[in-house]
A and B are shown apart, each in its own frame.
Chain A
Amino acid sequence: MTSVVELHDITKSFGGVSALKGVSFEVRAGEVHALLGENGAGKSTLIRIIAGSHIPDRGEIRVGGELVRFSSPRDARRRGIATVYQELLLFPDLSVAENIFLGNAPRTRLGAIDWTAIRAKARALLDDLESPDLDVDAKVGGLSVANRQRVEIAKALSQNPRVLIMDEPTASLAQADVERLMAVVRRLRERGVAVIYVSHRLQEIFELADRVTVLRDGSYIGTRAIGEVTESTLVSMMVGRSIDQLFPKSEAPRGRTLLEVRNLAYRRAFREVSFSVRQGEILGFAGLVGSGRTEVALTLFGITPATSGEIRVDGEPVTISSPRRARDLGIAYIPEDRGQQGLIRSQTIRENLSLAILDHLSRAYFVDLSKEAAHAREAIEHFGIRARGPEMTVRQLSGGNQQKVVLAKWLGAEPRILVMDEPTRGIDVGAKAEIHALMSRLAGQGLAIVMISSELPEVLGMSDRVLVMSRGRVVATFDRAEATPDAVGAAMTRASPEEGVA
Chain B
Amino acid sequence: MKKLSSFILFLLCFPFTGYGGELDIGGEITAVSIISLNQERLSDAEFEGKVIFTPLFIAEGGGVLFTAEPELVLDSAKNTGEISLKNFSLETMLFDFIQMKGGRYIHLPGKGLLSPITNYFHQIDYEQFFSGSLENIYAPGYLAEIAVFPGSFYFRTLVSIFPRTPSIPDPESQWFPWARIPEDLTIEYEGETIDMILMDVEIDDSETADPLLKNISLSAEIGGAVSLFDFSAHYYHGIDNTLILRSRLDFPSGILQFYDLILSPKITTVDAFGCNFELLSGGFQFWTTASFVPWKTLATTEFSELTQTNGFEQTRYLEYAGGAGYTFRYPSIFIAAEAQHAHAFTSETAIIMPYYYSLAGGIITADFFSGDLTAGAVYLFSLSDNSSAAVLSLTYSPVLEFKARISIPVFFGKERSDFGMYKNNHTAGLTFSFFF
- State whether these chains interact: no
Q: Which residues of chain A have a CB within 8 Å of any CB of chain B? A: none
